[in-house]
Structure formats: C-alpha cells, structure tokens
Structure 1
Amino acid sequence: MLSFSRSPGATLRRVSSSPAAVAVQDRLFRALAVLRVIVLANAVALNLYRWGHYRHPVAVAACVTVMVLWTGLATWLYADPRRRTRLLLGADLAIALALLVATPLVKGSGFHATVPGFWVMAALLAWSIQYRWAGGLVAGLLLASVDLSLRPEIRQSDYGNAFLLVIGGPIVGFMCASLQEMAADREVAERAAAMAAERARLARVVHDGVLQVLALVQRRGRELGGEAGELGRLAGEQERELRTLIRAQEAVTPTPADTVDLVSELSRLERSGSVTVSTPAAPVELPAAAGRELLAAVRACLDNVRVHVGDDAPAWVLVQAFPDRIEVSVRDDGPGIPPGRLEQAAAQGRLGVIGSIRGRIADLGGSAQLVTGSGGTEWELVVPREAPGLP
C-alpha cells in the first residue's frame, strides 16, 4: 500500500543534502527530456494529420511552434538543477494549461482532441519529479479540470484520460521520492560501512603495534621495579585507555540481538591494576546462550584468582578468534594449584572448577585445559564457532 504520510517539504529537506538523491533526480529529468521530444513529435504528427479540420490553421501552427520552442528551452533549463525553480515549473505548467484553453478557440467548440494532446505529460511529470506526489497531484488536478471544463460533451475516453492524469501524477511522484530516499539511505549505509572498515583497520594497527608495546613495557617495568616499575604502571594505564577507546568505536556497530560480542562483554571485566583483557580489534560474536556460558566460565576463572591468589592479584585474559573456534585464556602469576588439590575438592563435593568451568565449556562442545605450576595458573577455554544454543 502506498503511504503519503511524509510531507513533501520534509522529503525535500531530507534529500536536498544527499548527492546520491540529487543524482537520481538529474537522471529522471534527463529521461523526461527524451520523453518531451517523443510526445512533441506525436503532437506535431497528429496536428498535421488533422490540418484540414481546423477553423484557424494559422493559430494552430502558432500553438505548435510554441510547443516546439518551449520543448527545446525547457530541455535546456531543466538540465541544470540550479534552474529548476518554482518560476520554471510554474511556467511549464502554465504553458500546458494555456494550450489546452486555446484548443476550442483554434479548433472550434466541437473538438475531440486538444492541440497539445499528450504533450502536457511533460509538465505533469516535471512537477512529480520536483515536488513528489503532492506536486503530481496538483498538476494532474489542474490539467484534468481544465481539459474537462472546455469540452461540451465528456466522453468515456475523455474521463479516462483525465483520470490517468490525476492518478498518474501522484504515483509517479511517490516513486520518484522513493528512488531518491533509497539512494540517500544507500549512501548513508555505504558511508557508515566505510567508516566502520576504517575504524577496524586503525584498531588493528593500534592493537598490533602500540598496545603490544605498552603491554611489554608494563610487564617488564613490573619485573624491574623502581622507576621502571612506575613507567610500567603508566604504560598499563595508557594501554587500558587505548583499549577502551577502541572498544567504544567498535560499539558504534551494534550486534544482532541473538548474539553476544565477547570483545564488548569481556572488556567489562577489566580492572585497573588487576585484570587486563586483550581482544581482537573487531567484534567476536557467539550465539547469545553460548556466549553467556563462556562469559560465566571466564568469570569463574577470575573468581578463583581472587580467592586463591588475592583480591589485587594480576590476571590476564586473552581472546583469539579463528574461523572455526574461539580461544580464551585466563592466566595469573600465583603459586599455582598444588597436585591433587582439584581431585580432593571433587571428592569432597566441591565442584566449582568442574561445574563452573569445565562443565560449561563441555556443554558448548569445547574443551577447558588447565596448566598450573609455580609460575602461575592458566586456563585454555576453547569453544567452536557454531556452539550449540542452550535454553
């Protein structure tokens, strides 16, 4: 169903600043220029064919001359968008109406076909292209009303022609507006896609260069201590601020409601001085249910670090995305888990590690590997890209 709810003024304001919409309008006026020549040739041929039936042949010739001259002038005027003013559109429609009014004067009161004939279509379509459905409706009503008012007898064909003018103008205008709006929307979408691609490219550059250097400075500074330790602390703060900026840029492009972006969600777990999260530059998406289970497993790993190593103990979360799987590692530099500790906890009915971490990952069709020792503990969580959805 056609919808004319948007006002022509609002539509004009919306597309006036869009080069794509202006280009569409230019092409429509170029097509109209071709149509003007075709309907002019038809009108000239019909008037020549009926030449012997006119009351004032010289006056008819003058009308045809006006049509020829105006067709050439209008084609030139409409070619430049700056010349498509209200004065030009008004003159175009006024000439068409004047030729209709002149018909009974030059042909006699018993005429059947007007002098301009289908030539008036050019003015109607010009109003439809420039002023959308409202312009087409106004021009159609004026042309149809004048045409019918001049006829002593309205035949069925006369009514049909008038009806086509009234209904055709708004439909053509609506279609022209739709084409321009689609062009403007496509231009906006292409611009947004280009901006998103550029953001992703810059994020990859920052991630592969600056962030890795800052992470290295932070790690080495902590190991060296002293002034180097302070330098490492400042590097760590800058790294986190850069990561926050990159993720804020990525958040401009929303993910579907049935997916979870691990980059965005895991970034919320980052805490100054304790938890550092390293992620790819682009979003990493999983089905919503699977993503929530993986996030819960990562939180369980971090909870274990706080409980068994310390509230302020540093931990690192690394996310890597592959075509077929997603790997998340959670590492700390604590004393590690003593041998047999997990088996003892399971025997006592404390299933935190088995249920909260390994159980969740197993339900997703993945694997959870634990590497622990005196240098710290690291969990390797691997889930397939097509992780099964969970209720």
Structure 2
Amino acid sequence: MIFRQMFEPVSSTYTYLLASRRGGEALLIDPVLEKVDRYRQLLKELDLKLVKAVDTHLHADHITGLGALRDLTQCVTVMGEQSKVDVVSIRVADGDQIGIEGINLDVLYTPGHTDDSYSFLFGDRVFTGDTLLIRGTGRTDFQNGDPRMQYESLFGRLLKLPDDTLVYPAHDYKGDTVSTIGEERACNPRLQVKSADEYAELMNNLNLANPKMMDVAVPANIRQGLAQAEIARAGWALSAEQAKAMVGRPDVALIDLREKRERERHGEIPGALHLSYQDLQANVSPSGILHVLGATPGKMLLFYCAFGERSAMAVRAAQDAGLASARHIEGGIDAWKAAGGALA
C-alpha cells in the first residue's frame, strides 16, 4: 500500500493519499486547492490514477481541492449526505464504505465540529477530520456545530476504537503528525471530562475568533458542482421528465454509472445496465461495450448517476471517443425521483 501525508502550511491542513499498488488507483482525503498541482505531480511520479477525492466536512479555513481535481482528473468527489455542498458525485452516510481497488474506508458519522463531519476508518488508522485533533478537538461554535453531538462522536464512537488505532487529523498547529486513540484518551486535555455537560461547558467558553478565510472558504466550498449547464448547451442532456419518456424504448441504452452500494441504498431505474464510472474509459474504448452499443445505428446511450456529475463527465468522455449519441439525465437519480420516475 502507498500512504502519504501532505501538509499545507497556511491553514495547517493535512491531506492524505492512499493507493493500492497493483492497479494504481488512488484516493485523496481533504485536498487543498493551492496544492492541487503538487498532488497531480505526486500522482504522476508514483504512476497513480486519482479515482476519488473526499472531504471529511465543509471546511471553513481553506478552499477545497475537490472541484479542481474533478475537473482536471475526472475523479469522483465524495462527501457526507448532510453536506450543504451543491453537488458532489457521491454522498455517503454512516456505515457506508468508500472503495477503490484494494482499499475500503469505513464511513463513521462523527458530527459536532460541523453537522456534516465524518471520520474514515481504514485498518489500523482513522482519519478524523476536525472531530478529534492531536491533543485537541474541533471547535463547535459555527456551521451547526454542537458540543454534545461532538462528545458522543468522541466518547461514543472514536474512543471506542482499539487503543493502538493511529489518529490522522485534518489539521495540526503544533507540528505533530500522528497520534493514537489510547494516547489521546490519556493525554488530550479536552477528553479529561466526566460528562457531556462538562464537555459542553468547556467548548462553549473557548471564545475563539472565526477562521481568517471563513467568509471566503465556506461560500466557495458550497459551490463545487460540475457545470452541467455546459453539457446541456451542447445538446447532450435530457431532463428527468424527458428521460421518463425515453426509458424502455429499444433504441435507448440506459446506463447506471453508480456503484453497487448506491444502487442498493437508493434504488435504480428499471432496465438499466450497470457499468461503473470507474470502468468508463475501458468501456468507451474501441473494444468496449459502450463503443459497441453506441455504434448501433439509431441507438442512444443515456447515462445517469446520483446527481448528474459522473454522467456529465461520462457524456464528455463518450463524445470524445466518437460516440455522438451519448446523453445523460441532468441531475441524476435525485432529479428522477423528484420527477416521480419509477424505481426498481
């Protein structure tokens, strides 16, 4: 396995790169916009392909690199289902997994710093975002933060992990790089409380100044969605209402780009082929199944995903591969449900 911890000094943010060597698929946790070129250089040097970029929560102290990485690498963006971000490719919930080849992160909902805060458990380590820091915890006084929720996230979830579990936070302001659950339980001053009431009293009286970039970072981080309007202007998009009239026709191949867990959780449009977005390039190649389908005279390729982000990227890739009949359902299955579309 490949593991790298990278540091952005202005906001003291840690970004984590994980990859399995065999296929070269990679995942980034909490990327920072200013470091996107460095991430891409490292991926090139290590001969890796970025498949997913994940944020632990809506950050207030830096602008995320999620949107830029998606636009530059066509990776999938991932955040929690409570996030106020306009569009990400996948929204996860407690108990889900975030997977790439050889790596699966267990998704833990750990609110309190914000209401969309998540941690990700991978084997012997946990990526705690701003929920649990090294000798500290994330503040709880903005973005729907709640010290009592954070107390439960800490004492009811994270501190129940094995003592030797490595703790990798999203920030550190002292130069520390890693800790353990046992070490934090014993040495973290904010965890030496006897009750949720005591913890709330402590957190409610920190009197911290707002993050310097909060007024810039939060609005920018909320607006991360791919500009699907560009795909629509090219004539490559159907509304959910239009798609309802197309589904089931013999001249339309409906293609679900989502992962198995998404289909199981949210349902699917009847009659769809299941071809994961991660396999898109192989499938639009001259020998791929989508190339064969798209070469059939009069056959439309109609992609959909969760919110239209992956399908918009798929349409562009298919068009670039010469598949002029490729289209997508704008807004994905989210829009399909809102339009009253049938689900299997």
TM-score normalized by the length of structure 2:
0.23
Answer 1 or 2: which has greater strand percent.
2
* Bigger radius of gyration among the two: 1
TM-score normalized by the length of structure 1:
0.21
Answer 1 or 2: which has greater helix percent.
1
Higher relative contact order (CA 8 A, sep 6+): 2
